[in-house]
Structure 1
Amino acid sequence: MPHLTTPAIICAVRHHGEHGAIVRAMTPNDGLVSGYVRGGRSRQVRPILQPGNIVQAEFRARTQDQLASLTVEMIHSRAPLLAEPLPAAAIDWTCALTAAALPEENGYPVLHQALDAVLAAVEAAPAARGWAVALVRYELLLLNELGFGLDLDQCAVTGSREDLHYVSPKSAAAVSTAAATGYETRLLPLPSFLVTGGEAGWPDIIDGLRLTGHFLERSILTDRRRDVLAARERLVDRLKRAVA
């Protein structure tokens, strides 16, 4: 990608050398793109390079294989949210997941739109329940976009589309209450909002996070990507304490 100018969501920042930073940003049409920001650790640029911020990004590279140089201008800052523990944890996790899970320079326009919507919900909602449902749905969408989608349309055993209350941790397929009899403890609860839509209470939200977390850890966040799970654990722990 010799030259690209686009709005982008900052997802991950890593120090490089004494003054620079390597940034991974989610773009609307080109997916996740990396670039080197000269002076990225400076007092002027560092506040721009915060996960969740929307920037105007200009990537330039001499060859297709070279790490691009990147310049950024702020479009929208979410820095004030980083002083609030729950919103900060949500932004940290959602951006870290995106940066860790996606291959670079593959377009995921639906994921970009969904990521932007989740971050906007975190910013706008007065309470965590207003954005937690969107976060679970984003994790589910990411699994689907990467080829690890859950089959929640019908029971894997009976084919029924009614009374779907569980998911098999092995097949990632829904299971009805009747088919689950005697095996409930071996299955993952399927919260109703993932089947019928709408709002959700905290028990269902926590079940939703448990469900998506199982498949993220099994299928995507493996080996060197596992370190980002610490961000998710912090978020889930803070959510549980907030509703206890």
Structure 2
Amino acid sequence: MDWRDHGILLTARRHGETSAIIDVFTEQHGRHAGVVRGGTSRKIAPILQPGAQLDVSWRARLEEHLGAFQVEPLRSRAAAAFSSRLSLAGLNSVTSLLAYCLPEREPHPDLYRKTEPLMDLLGQEEIWPLAYLNWELALLEEMGFGLDLSSCAVTGATDGLVYVSPKSGRAVSLEGAGDWADRLLPLPACMRGEGPAPDTEILEGLKTTGFFLEQKLASSLGNHPLPGARGQLIDRLTRRL
């Protein structure tokens, strides 16, 4: 069995004396693990950094085997990731969430095509946080917990949408919220594709996506806690205020 694809390195860990086991999110083959022979060498180890864009060839005698990767670097994102603590926290959040929630060897090409451009924006701190928030919305959609922000769940109105129902994941207008407003989640304008998306709105949006990541996604995965890297990203955004 063998195939070739390109993807984003999520994790790498030492295996034996000279090898490494890597986890790569590929476009056509999903999240896939394999051994890289000589992965701890001076030549290969610098390539195997989380977030790196790789050309990978996988081979195994049987499909169910772990298999081995041959890797070639396409581009490194290390310089962008280490340009600031916010960028590094962002990279860690994306790679950690993907490793956390994606079933192994299950293709998710739509999510992949939204993830690669996000990773290429690392270091562009004025636009990256909004792109990341939109990516979390896409992740929820891909995992089956997408939000419907098109109209009010109560009145059907498409204007004045300022809340999200924690039960249904649908938008709610100020009028429709009534006395239930304090029990609803925020729906900042930037989540509807409106306005300049200041950090205060990004954090409000991440509060809402975080609720569904914790209450819906994590619950479906056996209630394992979300990766701490996401909380570290939110902490960095909060400090930037």
- TM-score norm. by structure 2 comes to 0.92
Structure 1 CA distance for aligned equivalents of residues 188 and 240 of structure 2 = 20
Question: 2:225 aligned with 1:233, yes or no?
Answer: no
2:153 is aligned to: 156
Q: The residue matched to 1:183 in structure 2 has which SS? A: helix
- Contact 1:7–1:57, Cα closer than 8 Å, also in 2: yes
Q: The residue matched to 2:144 in structure 1 has which SS? A: coil
- Contact 2:122–2:128, Cα closer than 8 Å, also in 1: yes
Structure 1 CA distance for aligned equivalents of residues 46 and 226 of structure 2 = 22
Structure 2 CA distance for aligned equivalents of residues 90 and 122 of structure 1 = 8
2:51 is aligned to: 52
Q: The residue matched to 1:66 in structure 2 has which SS? A: coil
Q: The residue matched to 2:212 in structure 1 has which SS? A: helix
Letter in 1 for 2:213: L
What is the Cα deviation at residue 180 of structure 1? 1.2
Q: The residue matched to 2:159 in structure 1 has which SS? A: coil
Structure 2 CA distance for aligned equivalents of residues 33 and 74 of structure 1 = 17
1:166 is aligned to: 163
1:9 is aligned to: 8
Change (3 A) 1:166 1:66: same
What is the Cα deviation at residue 80 of structure 1? 1.8
Structure 2 CA distance for aligned equivalents of residues 225 and 94 of structure 1 = 19
Structure 1 CA distance for aligned equivalents of residues 97 and 223 of structure 2 = 9
What is the Cα deviation at residue 217 of structure 1? 1.3
Percent of aligned positions with the same letter in both sequences? 38
Structure 2 CA distance for aligned equivalents of residues 35 and 191 of structure 1 = 41
What is the Cα deviation at residue 95 of structure 1? 1.1
Unaligned runs of 5+ in 2: none
2:132 is aligned to: 135
What is the Cα deviation at residue 120 of structure 1? 0.9
What is the Cα deviation at residue 220 of structure 1? 2.0
Indicate the RMSD between aligned Cα atoms, in angstroms.
Answer: 1.8
Q: The residue matched to 1:117 in structure 2 has which SS? A: helix
- Contact 2:154–2:176, Cα closer than 8 Å, also in 1: yes
1:75 is aligned to: 74
- Contact 1:129–1:202, Cα closer than 8 Å, also in 2: no
Question: 2:170 aligned with 1:176, yes or no?
Answer: no
Q: The residue matched to 1:172 in structure 2 has which SS? A: coil
Instruction: Count the aligned residue pairs.
Output: 239
Cα deviations across residues 62-111 of structure 1 (Å, max 9, x unaligned)? 11111120121111011223432111110011011112111122222221
Of 75-84 and 170-179, the range deviating more from structure 2 = 75-84
Letter in 1 for 2:228: A
